[in-house]
Structure formats: structure tokens, C-alpha cells
Amino acid sequence: MTERLLDLTIGPVGGLTSPLDALRAAAEDAPYLARLLNRHAGAAEAMTDNNLSDLFSAQLHAISSLPSDTPLDDVSRVLRTSKEVSHMIAAAGDLSGHWDVSRVTQSLTDLADVSVRAALEVAFAEAVRRGDVAPTPVEDSGLFLIAMGKMGARELNYSSDIDLIAVFDPDRFKTAARSQKDAAAKIIRDVVQLLEARTEHGYVFRTDLRLRPDPGSTQIAVSASAALDYYETIGQNWERMAYIKARVCAGDQDAGGKYLEALEPYVWRHHLDYWAIADIHAIKRQIHAQGRHAELDAKDFDVKLGRGGIREIEFFVQTQQLILGGRNSDLRSRETLSALRALEEIDAVDTDLAEDLDRAYAYLRAVEHRIQMVNDEQTHRLPDTPERRAKIARLCGVELEVFEADLAKVRRRVHSAYSDLFAQEERLSGEGGNLVFTGVDDDPDTLATLAEMGFSSPETVTKAVRNWHRGGVAGTRSARGRQLLTVLTPRLLQMMADAGEPDAAFTRFGDFLSGVRGGVQALSLMLAEPALTADLIATMSFAPKLARDLASRPALLDAMLDARFQHPVQDDPAGEREAALRALAESCEYFEDVLNAARRFHREEAFRIGYQLLRGKAHAVEAGAAYADLADACIAVLADAAKAEIERRFGPWTAKWAVCGLGKLGGREMTATSDLDIMVIYEPQEGQEDLAARFTQRLISALSAPTEEGALYEVDMQLRPSGRAGPVAVKISAFETYYQDKAWTWEFMALTRLRPIAGDPDLCARIQDLTCKAVGECSSKPGLTDDVADMRRRIARERKPSSRWDLKLAEGGVVDAEFVVQHAMLLAAAETPGVVKANTLAAIDALSASGRVSSAEASALRDGLSLQLNLQQALRIAASDQYDPSAASEGLKTWLAGVVDITDFASLEAELFARQDAIAEVRLKKLGPLATETPASSVEPSG
């Protein structure tokens, strides 16, 4: 059963009801009060049981009666002196039991009101004297200050700062030498200086102007029209909640009243749609701190922000005001307790609960005042030692044990009510601590939560999230987009933490939000599909290329929902991609449309392959084959489109042609970032010699030129006969003769990976026969092994690996394995042509089966190459071509080990180095060392 709050105790200090006696007793535990007694002894001696109100009013009158032409130094002194004496009187009334909490907060607010009005009048008069503004009374100037927060509600605490919004009506605010914005800003800066500056007389009030619209990019005084436009377009529900307490406290009351009246439809909506209500619920979930119930008994409690504290009572009241107040004007009270009673009257809150929250609020505010009386600090946290907490208890008139028991009881009751509010919606909340991004201040508990989740710069995260919620990126320009993000934010942050790369995921999600135009559609999808969202965040965590694709093309989210997206790429039927792309191309009217369709198709398929590689659903060989199959489809379809375009412009082209792949494309070992090594070979027809070159150039353009849908591939044709010096399209006769007497050894090595992809089937077969013949004839080439070894050493000299994680160039890396395998194929091709395979792993198996490499050598090559190809595929989507383990996060290392099914990164690195050593040993045996000019004739004899 819920424990009622019927016997809370806050009594006079030491049982003393004399204001002066109570103040003197409290001064023993409160240095600030002791200073006040010492500095204002005469005012203290004048206090009696019955004259506190009159004395306080006299201080307010001393401020309010200041003429506007009073010298600034005199204004500053009067403000500060009256503030200190007022503080002393309020403390005496509070600590002796003569004033209840409401009287104290009302009096402190009255002090703030007269101080702000006096400062504004003096600053405005000074602006008139400077000639900045027209000589008119500030009450008719169109410039006004709005009190927000506790000042607006007339609930200021003892050492509170004051929240103000400075506004001017552009039709009424008349300026001369300055623009309206500059003149208003100068006046407000002078007001703040009068209130905040610390002199030998102390200070008046710390002043916060950050509740104005978009404080990061607006001046400290805003025009009414600009403010109204902001709230109507991108204002947030927490800002609506803040305006519940708004009132004009200084300046032009008429202009300020009209401004607040214009805002009423924004604050008090008669009909809230589902998303507005969900957004309000989400604000509560953001504020709600998960954790053990025992934490409600924590001793160093923050009475404002902690669990079971003042903010939870205020939120309990204000959220219900926001939801119900549009239809019931009785709920529109600025004061928390008045609004609570109004909620009780309409049966929105149970009577017992309303009474308990009323008592709890008064109790916590009284404790808050006593915490602040100690040193006049803007703090709400109880001390962390029993001795210092005992001082607070004595200021409350009780022993420490009683104080802590009462406080724990209050916290349990408040937090129970708060947790029950929107309890059904609360089940959507994630685990962990506070994740609060409302308001303008960083919530300390939120920063701590983000740090615990692994974010390296929690302040950067909170700043970015607040910018998102203000519509600062494309994806949150609409109100519904911002509401959806509010609901999603805690879940997204938790997913980023769970993925192990929170910083990277957060940055890339920010890029995604900045790029997405249909924010509502994308965020709605993410809200409705938690599993998809988790995969999306994981993708952003470890795959920058995929994340960039998502950021630039958010429509890829739709592709992730397609059933085929999860279908293993290794199980795709042969020819399926080409058939699908060909169907798209056939529906296009123009050549440019075909190019765009190919780019859209490629983007979705490449994203699918990369995603499955990222999630461990496809391994290197499978992903490499899938990437190559996708390239084959693009080449085949775009080659036909290029031919059709040539024929449209120049008439029929009857020559036979073929497009061949080499390198990674030829070997079906492509990665996410591979370019296309291609060669176009044709059988010429008389009178059409130039069309082959035109076709090739059009094909290259189709494959590589950027369009409105982006780029497709980089194309490299340097492996054709004579390289850059030769024609772009190669005659079949020239192809044959070139490899008979002109080709270098490295060109024969490249030829082992040639694979016809598209074109005339008969010509493709003939090309394969000629390739097999050329490679076979190279077997008997003098100095073959020396040539291959020399090329490998040259690469080692000119392209030094950055580390052993430079998987391509490191000793025992991919290039080492490819050189050994291609050398072995060239040696064996004449006698055993079946060993010539474009795919390196297939070639290793063929060489092993034929006895051209031993079983141990084949195992070393196969195991080492397989591991490195897997890692290379993963790193191409996770770290591009650069990977430095010393700079990599633990999350990335863990993920990388998981990709190859190894338990941890240390074990992975040990395995990698061992397999590289094994490949290097085979290469040393077959081709010799890399670091010397030792001739390869000293290595194992060929044959």
C-alpha cells in the first residue's frame, strides 16, 4: 500500500520562533547567512515577529522608486544591498516558521520582478540618452521581458537564477542610430550586466536568456514576429511546456500581453494529434531514470533533478496541463500547486495523491532553500557526508535521522506517482539512465549515462540531438519528424552503444538525418521496424561506405524491407541480376535512363551484398563472386545499351565484339571498392573500324560517368595490349599476335585472370582458346621465374606496406599469394592447361590436384589467402584501404574478429601473422626474398 505523507516535519531552527534568534542560530551552519547578519546588522536588529512583510516591502520600494536617471553605480549598489537584506528577511521568516514556502517563493519572485524592471528602465533610459531608441517610456516602447520557469510561476528558490526571454514588437519598437535587433540586444546586455556583475556589494540575479527561440543562432533579444514564426514552425513540446509559466515581468505590458495571447494556440492546443501526445510521453521517458529502487534512499540526493525530486512533480503536473489544458482553461495556471489542485478538481488526479504531492512539493522546496542558504550557491544537491547533511537537517529543525527518513518517504511517493504517469508508454523506454535532451542545459545525469554507454564526447551528442530536435537537419524539418525522433532517440542511442561503435554510429546517423528529405517516412519506418533499425545502426557503426550510401540515398531503407534483401547472396540463381537489370533497361526510353536505372540497381545490390558481408551472412569468396556477378550484369546490359546507342547514331554495327574482365573482376574476387579492369576485343568488319572505338568509349562512359544517380565504377583499361599507348578496342588478330611476340611476363600473369563477360559467344570462346594458348607458350619463356621474382621485389621496393595489416602488400599478403599462384600457373600451363583459373583459390586447388604445388604449400596459400580476403572484404566496407589497429576502437576490433569467427582481436592478429608467415615462406621458396637483389635462380628449380 502506498505510504501517505501526513507527518512530514520542517520546523523552526532549534525550535526558535523569533526571526532574529532563528537567523542567528542558522548562521552557525550557513556561512552566507552569517555574512548577511554581519553586513546588515541594523536591518537584522529591526526584525520582529510581526514586521517582516513591511521590512521586505520597504526593500522592494527602495528598488522600484529608483529614478530612471539614477547613476548606474548607485543603481547597482541599491539593487545589491536590497537583495541581500531581502534575502536575510526571507531567510528569517522561513527559518522561524513565520513564512511558509509559498510566501517565501512569492517574495523572492517579487524581488526579482522589481529588480528586473528597475534594470530595464535604467538601461532603456541610457539607450535614449545615447540616441539608440526614440525617447519614449519603456512601458510604451514595444520592448518587454518574459519571465519563464520558476520566476514566471512566482516560485523562485532562494539562490535561483532567473530565466528571461527578451522580445520586441517590430511595429512599436522605435530606434534611431541602431537597427532594432542591435538596439534591443544592447539594452538587454546592459540589463544583464546590472543584475549579474559581481561587485563589492555582491550580485543581484544570475540571468539566463537561453530559453529564447534557437539560442545558438539568435541575438539575445528577438522580434515578436520571428519568435512566433519559430514556434509555429519548429517549436517543440518542451518549449510549449515552458510557456505554461510565461508572463510579462518588465517593459511594455500591452505588447507583451498581445505576444503571449498570440502564442496561446501554440501552447494550448484544443486537439492534440497522436504524435504530439507520443512526443510528450517520450519527454517523460527521456527524463525517467531507470535503476534500482534502493537509489531512492541515496544520501547525496539532488532535490530538483533526482529521482523523486521537484522536477518529477513539475513534470507530472505540466504534461497533464499540456494535454488537457487546450480544452479546459482552468488548468492553465502558472503555479505548480494551483495547477495540481485544478487537476484534482476535474478528477485527473486522485485527491490523496494531490494532497501528498502538494506536501511533497512544499517539503522539497523548503529543503532546497536550506541547501542554498548555506553558501548562496545555485545547487540542489545534499552534501555527501553525514556531518554536512546534519547541518541541512538542523536548518530544517530536525535531527538527521528524522530528516533522512522523511526525505526517503517523500521520494518514494513522488517517484511512484511519476512512474505511473503514462505507465503503458513507459514500456517502450530503453534501459539505462537519464537521456534528457529537452531545454538548453546539459543534464548531468544524461552526460553520465552517455559516457557509460561509450560515447567519448557526451556534450557533443547532447548538442547535436538538441539541434536535431530544433529542426536543424533535413530529416527533422517537419514537426512530425521531430516528434518521431523524440520517441526514437533513447532506443537509437542504446543500439549505438550495443553495436560497440557509438561515436561512429552517431556521426553517421547524423549524416543520414542531414541527407534524408522524407524524414517522417524514414523515421516512421525505423520506429515500426526495430530489427531493421538495429541492423541500420550496426551498418552505420562499422561500414562507412554503406553508411554514406544510406546518407545520400535514404530510399535504400525500403530495399532493406524487401524479402530478397535477407536472402543469402550465395544462393542467388545464376543470371538473376542480369535478367532483373535487363528488364529495367528495356523499360527505359533513353540511353541516359538506362544509365540511371543501372546505378539505382547497382546501389541496392551492392548495399545488399555489403550488408550481408557486414552481418556475417556472406564470406569473402561469396561476397567477391556476388560483387563480380553484379559487375558482370552491369557490363552486359550497358554494353548492349552502348551498342544500341552507337547504332542509333551511326547505323548498324555488325562486327563481333566481347568485353573481358581481368584482375579482381576476372577472378570474381571483387570488393565493395574495386574498379573494373576490362578489355574490349572485336573482329572487325570492313568500313566499320571506327565504330569499335566509339562503342568502347561509350561503354566506358556508361560504366564510369557520374549521372544524377551518382557514379557506378572506375574503369581501368591499362591491361589491354600496349596499355595506354594502344587502341581502346583491340582487334582479335592484334590480341593474338601481341601475346606471341610483344607481351611482357607481367602481362601473361594478368592474362591468367582474363574472363570473357559479354558479347558474341563464339568470339568469347575463341578469346579463351587464344588466352590458353598464349599462357601455355609462356611456360617455356626463358627467365620466367627471374622475371616474376624481379617484379615482386620491385613492388616491394616501390610500394612498401604500411604494416602487416596492409593485407595487399605485406609480406605473406595477397600480392605474395597471387604472385606465387600466377607463377605456378605460367610454369604448368603448357603441360597442364587445366590449372589456369582466373580465381586464385580455384587455381590453388587445381595446382594442388595436379601436383604442381605440394599439399602443405596449397594449405598455406589457401588458408592464408582465404583469411586475408575475408578481412580485406570486411575492411573495404569498414575502413576503406587504411586500417591501423593502434587507432581502431575496441568495438571495431571485436567486430573484425567476429567476421572471421575468431574469439577476440588478439587471437585474430596472431592467426593472421602466422598465416602471412606461412605464405611468405612459400614465396621465399618459389621466388626468393624481397629485400635483396638475389637472383631467382637461387630458389627452388621450376618444373
User: For position 239, what pLDDT does the model report?
Assistant: 87
- pLDDT for the residue numbered 294: 38
CA distances from 108 to 113, 209, 726 (A): 9, 19, 89
The pLDDT of residue 366:
96
Three-state secondary structure readout of 825-868 = HHHHCCCCHHHCCCCHHHHHHHHHHCCCCCHHHHHHHHHHHHHH
C-alpha cell at 452: 557509460
Q: What is the pLDDT of residue 431?
A: 53
pLDDT digits (tens, 9 = 90+) for 106-165: 999 999 999 999 999 999 999 999 999 999 999 999 999 999 999 999 999 999 999 999
- Which helix (H) or strand (E) segment holds residue 938: the answer is none
Q: Please choose, from the candidates 676, 862, 810, the residue with its C-alpha nearest in 3D space to the C-alpha of residue 755.
A: 676
CB 407 within 8 A of CB 299: no
Which residue in the block uniquely carries the three cell numbers 542558504? 373
C-alpha cell at 372: 542554498
Given this model, what pLDDT does residue 815 score? Answer: 96
833 alpha-carbon distance from chain centroid:
56
Report CA-CA distances (Å) from 675 to 583, 656, 668.
25, 26, 12
Stretches in the chain below the pLDDT threshold 50: 274, 288-294, 424-430, 933-938, 942-943
Which pLDDT score, from 0 to 100, does residue 470 have? 81
In the 3-class helix/strand/coil scheme, how is 767-804 assigned residue by residue?
HHHHHHHHHHHHCCCCCHHHHHHHHHHHHHHHCCCCCC
Supply the pTM of this predicted model: 0.65
